[in-house]
């Protein structure tokens, strides 16, 4: 099955974790949804999963008699989905994935097809195909959020002349200290090129060439000995809080949550942010396909998507949701300016090129691991 590549998002128009737990509920007078059963919903943990539990899981359980949800964390990629589907032992019912992984998994026939006509209309009356942002609906996947990878620092550790650009993140002479980075090639290669002077609009043109790739790895060489590698989204805020790193790349919502929800003295640097989508997919052959589809349809409705944005600063994928995004979890913090899609945050941003990573993820993972192993 070939993945239909929708138009890239050019103008989003958004003006504005619970670790592996089981959530169960039986609610009187709830309507039946699909078939009763326990859904295993797989996501990224931490503050992100918590936002989904509050905005999606709990309200869904109130509406669906006999349904239960088991929440499970993972670190991304399609290896586990592939192993389950090919081994005909599918235990994951619905999974939150990055766009490049959704493309690869769909192309490899690992996912159920999703009929967009069956998705709910927006609260503005628009059919789903008109209400979802361009580039967020695919044959096997439906987007829920727009998010980004940024870098951040602790304002109590860096004062006065603070870092403002991606080049500053790589400047160990001016700001000596450890750096936190996600363990992998994705985003790090893009960051390295921008830090080395490549314009945001030219990053993927460079990465398509051997010279560009060599340049990215050479730039990463300059900070390699000072990097603390992280693998889960909850780690960067903790690395900053513990003083293990001076600066770290991170998912923007995790840093925002640490600031707004926990009072941490962190600052986000939006320059060079790499923004992307997360989407729901349903592994082929799962035991609860109908219930999983019910959950997908519910969670990508106007109000649930807007509700999630009140818990974490990721932009909803529906147009009709943006006007409902208000304050942070009933606190006096306007969520609009906190979104990756806020105009001020998009001044020097890069959209993650899903086709590049779908085509090159395996070989660049191999090269990155070999580079890492050199010590």
183 and 97 in one domain?
no
328 and 222 in one domain?
no
In a domain, 16, yes or no: no
Range of the domain at 95: 21-146+276-346
CA dist., res. 16 & res. 337, Å (int): 6
b (16+ CB within 10 A) / e for 269-307: bbbbbbbbbbbbbbbbebebbebbbbbbbbbbbbbbbbb
137 and 163 in one domain?
no
By the 8 A CB rule, do 43 and 50 touch? no
pLDDT at 303: 96
Q: Is 297 left (phi over 0), alpha (psi -120 to 50) or beta?
A: alpha
| Overall number of domains in the chain | 2
In a domain, 225, yes or no: yes
171 and 207 in one domain?
yes
The pTM assigned to this predicted structure is 0.79
pLDDT at 34: 57
249 and 168 in one domain?
yes
In a domain, 14, yes or no: no
pLDDT per position in the chain (375 positions), as tens? 333 333 333 334 333 322 333 343 333 334 546 567 899 999 999 889 999 999 999 999 998 888 999 999 999 999 999 999 999 999 999 999 999 999 999 999 999 999 999 999 999 999 999 999 888 999 999 999 999 999 999 999 999 999 999 999 999 999 999 999 999 999 999 999 999 999 999 999 999 999 999 999 999 999 999 999 999 999 999 999 999 999 999 999 999 999 999 999 999 999 999 999 999 999 999 999 999 999 999 999 999 999 999 999 999 999 999 888 888 886 888 898 898 888 889 889 999 998 899 899 999 999 999 999 997
pLDDT at 322: 84
Cα 318 to its chain centre, rounded Å, is 16
In a domain, 262, yes or no: yes
Q: Alpha helix (H) ranges present in the chain?
A: 46-52, 58-63, 79-86, 99-107, 128-131, 166-169, 188-195, 203-207, 210-221, 235-241, 252-262, 289-299, 302-308, 319-322, 354-373
Which CATH number fits the domain that encloses residue 58? 3.40.190.10
In a domain, 12, yes or no: no
CA dist., res. 137 & res. 121, Å (int): 14
pLDDT at 35: 64
pLDDT at 3: 38
């Amino acid at each position: 099955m070939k993945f239909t590549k929708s138009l890239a998002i050019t103008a989003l128009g958004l003006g504005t974790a619970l670790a592996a737990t089981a959530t169960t509920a039986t609610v009187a007078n709830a309507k039946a949804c699909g078939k009763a059963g326990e859904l295993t919903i797989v996501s990224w943990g931490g503050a992100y999963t918590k936002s989904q539990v509050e905005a999606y899981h709990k309200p869904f359980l109130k509406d669906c008699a006999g349904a239960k949800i088991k929440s499970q964390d993972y670190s991304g990629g399609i290896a586990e989905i592939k192993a389950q589907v090919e081994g005909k032992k599918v235990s994951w019912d619905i999974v939150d994935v990055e766009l490049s992984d959704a493309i690869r998994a769909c192309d490899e026939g690992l996912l159920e097809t999703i009929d967009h006509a069956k998705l709910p209309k927006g609260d503005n009356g628009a059919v789903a195909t008109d209400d979802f942002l361009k580039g967020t609906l695919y044959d096997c996947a439906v987007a829920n959020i727009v998010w980004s990878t940024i870098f951040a620092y602790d304002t109590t550790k860096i004062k006065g002349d603070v870092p403002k650009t991606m080049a500053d993140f790589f400047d160990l002479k001016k700001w000596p200290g450890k750096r936190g980075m996600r363990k992998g090639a994705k985003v790090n290669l893009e960051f390295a090129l921008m830090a080395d002077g490549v314009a945001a609009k030219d990053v993927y043109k460079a990465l398509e060439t051997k010279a560009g790739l060599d340049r990215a790895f050479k730039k990463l060489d300059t900070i390699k000995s000072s990097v603390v590698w992280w693998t889960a989204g909850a780690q960067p805020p903790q690395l900053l809080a513990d003083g293990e790193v001076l600066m770290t790349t991170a998912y923007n919502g995790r840093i925002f949550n640490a600031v707004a929800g926990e009072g941490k003295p962190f600052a986000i640097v939006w320059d060079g942010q790499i923004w992307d989508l997360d989407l729901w997919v349903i592994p082929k052959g799962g035991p609860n396909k109908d219930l999983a589809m019910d959950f997908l349809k519910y969670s990508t409705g106007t109000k649930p998507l807007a509700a999630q944005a009140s818990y974490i600063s990721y932009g909803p994928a529906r147009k009709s949701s943006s006007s409902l995004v208000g304050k942070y979890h009933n606190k006096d913090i306007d969520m609009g300016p906190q979104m990756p899609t806020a105009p001020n945050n998009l001044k020097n941003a890069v959209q993650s090129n899903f086709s590049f990573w779908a085509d090159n993820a395996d070989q660049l993972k191999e090269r990155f691991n070999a580079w890492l192993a050199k010590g």
